[in-house]
Amino acid sequence: MNKILKAIESNAVSKPRQIAFRGQNHIGDVQSISYFELNKEVDMVANLFLAMQAKCIALRADNSLDWLVIDLAAMKAKVCLVPVPTFFTDQQVEHTLAESGADVLVGDWKDKVDPITCIRNMPIYLYASGNERRYLPETSKITFTSGSTGSPKGVCLSEQNIENVSLALAKSMEADQVCHLSLLPLSTLLENVTSIYVPILLGITSQIYKSETLGLTGSSQLNVKAFAEALVQFQPNSMVLVPAILMALIQLVSREPALSDSLKFVAVGGARVAPELIEQAHQLGIPAYEGYGLSEFASVVSLNTENHSKAGTSGRLLPHVEAKLSEENELLIKGNSALGYINEPFTDEWFATGDLASIDSEGYVTIEGRKKNQIISGFGRNISPEWVESRAQVFLPECPMVVTGDAEASLTAIVGAGKAIEERIERLNQTLPDYARIKNLLIVSDMSARKEWFTSNGRPKRKHIESWASCIHKQYIADPLVTAKTVKTQFEYSEI
């Protein structure tokens, strides 16, 4: 039995009445679960999975206390679990089920088959995927990335992978933190680890509420007023944020300083964070610390903490991880690497991350950027601009388009002029998952006039285009080729 499950049993004996998790169940009722009750519930559901002879469980549901019990029960029953993000498109969901070969579905699957039973408010379905098991031996969890294209990639993680990173993070936390708030979707590996496993190892209380209660919709939309109200009500000591939500928190605290009073540790990851943003947070009393991680290493690889922090870096490596740079300054990592991708075991000693980086003499890692063109949004979603651009050809065949938005809260499309551009962009957005939709639109009257934007064979020079788009957004300088601008921001601070 791994140390996470042992901690549940130990806490159930040493402090049975201590609240392990507080929040909402799957149907929205507010409840609490003590460590004694958690141990009992996990055992009961694990026995159910064993009786069903479940091999691979796909869990699709909003955050809830029921979600975490299903997750821990699958771990105890040694059944592979596949968390399925609720913001995946139908095509991505079908791909996930087909790739994993899931035989049991738990949660929101009304469109599939009729449920056979219900456990902890969660419907359970038997499912015939038609595929044999393709995940690797010893796989405890398959985490599917949001996908840089329409087909997410499944990372096979062992129980040991998950235990290693959870223990390392628990050791890095301050002892006086007694109340964590889960904000991001639990289907996100980082949130899964930091909101369930780490609090159990620390023996503290974690608060798990539905996304709407906290102001979150989908993967990248935030109701700032609801978020502020949640901070007042739940008084968390710790949270994990993506950069876009950190920016919202900074705006909130700048107006209502008391909102940060309870905070002792705020980890920020999922995308690059500007050093100025971290500095601004600290000046406002927000203890924000940047980290870096990969699904291929069970989430966190490096982290800044209160005692070991350097602005502009992603912190020091966790103890079980080693890193070095290639000749091209690509970050290479080993230690706690995943088993591999579905049907594709890792065999190399060092894993090439695809990130350009530097490592200073004190061991602090700085991520410089992606080796290729992949965009990582401010909400931590991986997006290939070529994917969105190719989808746009269906709706705007006569209009060239280039997509930008690395580390931003939303994507920007620079597009040639044409009829009903905005309407056609909206139609395009309906075919994309929410994190890959175009929210900012710059219409250029004649993109062909920008010779410096394209190579001789017509391929976009992305750095030139991104630089121009950044100037437009930051300075709003009038440009003779810009005939229209539509900027739909993720956060409406004026509503507060």
State the DSSP code for 193. I
**pLDDT band for position 229 (cuts 50, 70, 90):** very high
pLDDT at residue 474, rounded to an integer: 66
Checking if the pLDDT of 496 tops 60, the result is no
pLDDT at 347: 94
Domain-wise residue ranges, the chain? 3-370, 384-495
User: Which carries the bigger pLDDT value, residue 380 or residue 365?
Assistant: 365
Rounded CA-CA distance 481/495 in Å is: 33
Question: How far is 274 from 130, CA to CA, in rounded Å?
Answer: 46
Nearest CA among 419, 414, 426, 400 for reference residue 467? 414
The percentage of the chain sitting over the pLDDT mark of 90, rounded to a whole number, equals 61
Segment 451-465, tens digit of pLDDT: 778 764 467 888 888
Report, as an integer, the average pLDDT of 356-369: 90
Give the whole-number percent of the chain exceeding pLDDT 70.
92
Got the DSSP string for 382-425?
Answer: EE-HHHHHHHHHHH-TTS-EEEE-TTSSSEEEEEE--TTHHHHH
| Greatest pairwise CA separation for the chain in angstroms | 72
Whole-angstrom Cα Rg for the chain: 23
pLDDT at residue 105 greater than cutoff 50? yes
384-495: CATH homologous superfamily? ANL, C-terminal domain (3.30.300.30)
Alpha-carbon distance values, 321 to 310, 370, 448 (Å): 19, 21, 48
Among the ranges 274-283, 337-346, 444-453, which has the highest mean pLDDT value? 337-346
Q: Say how far apart CA 169 and CA 87 lie, in whole Å.
A: 27
Q: Which of 78-82, 407-411, 437-441, 468-472 has the highest mean pLDDT?
A: 78-82
Position 485 scores a pLDDT of 43
Residue 413 pairs in a beta bridge with 403, 441
Can you tell me the mean pLDDT for 311-324?
94
The per-residue b/e assignment along 484-493, b for 16 or more CB within 10 angstroms, e otherwise, is eeeeeebbee
Question: pLDDT of 183-192, one tens digit each?
Answer: 999 999 999 9
Q: Which residue has the tokens 């209009």?
A: 399
Q: Confidence class of residue 113 from pLDDT cuts 50, 70 and 90?
A: confident
Mean pLDDT of the chain: 88
Position with higher pLDDT, 200 vs 393: 200
Which range among 123-132, 170-179, 314-323 has the greatest average pLDDT? 314-323
Tell me what pLDDT residue 481 has.
Answer: 52
What is the bridge-based pairing of β-strands 316-317 and 299-303? antiparallel
Mean pLDDT of 115-142: 88
Average pLDDT over residues 119-133: 84
50: confidence class by pLDDT, cuts 50, 70, 90:
very high
Second-level CATH architecture of 3-370: 3-Layer(aba) Sandwich (3.40)
Cα distance between residue 368 and residue 263, in whole Å: 29
Average pLDDT over residues 64-74: 98
Per-position b or e across 145-181, b if 16+ CB within 10 A of its CB: bbbbebebbbbbbbbebbbbbbbbbbebbeeebebbb
Tens digits of per-residue pLDDT, 370-395?
Answer: 777 888 888 888 887 888 887 887 78
Q: Is the pLDDT of residue 18 over 60?
A: yes
Q: What is the pLDDT of residue 150?
A: 53
- H-helix or E-strand spanning residue 281: helix 275-283
Is residue 226's pLDDT more than 80? yes
Mean pLDDT comparison of 355-369, 382-396, 440-454, highest-scoring range? 355-369
Other C-beta atoms closer than 10 Å to the C-beta of 25 total: 19
The average pLDDT across 11-33 equals 97
Tell the residue number behind the tokens 């300054």, with chain if given. Answer: 329
Which residues make Cβ contacts (< 8 Å) with residue 65, sequence separation at least 6? 21, 23, 24, 25, 26, 31, 33, 120, 208
pLDDT value of residue 432:
92
- Could you report the per-residue pLDDT of 460-492, keeping only the tens digit for each? 888 888 888 888 766 554 444 554 444 333 222
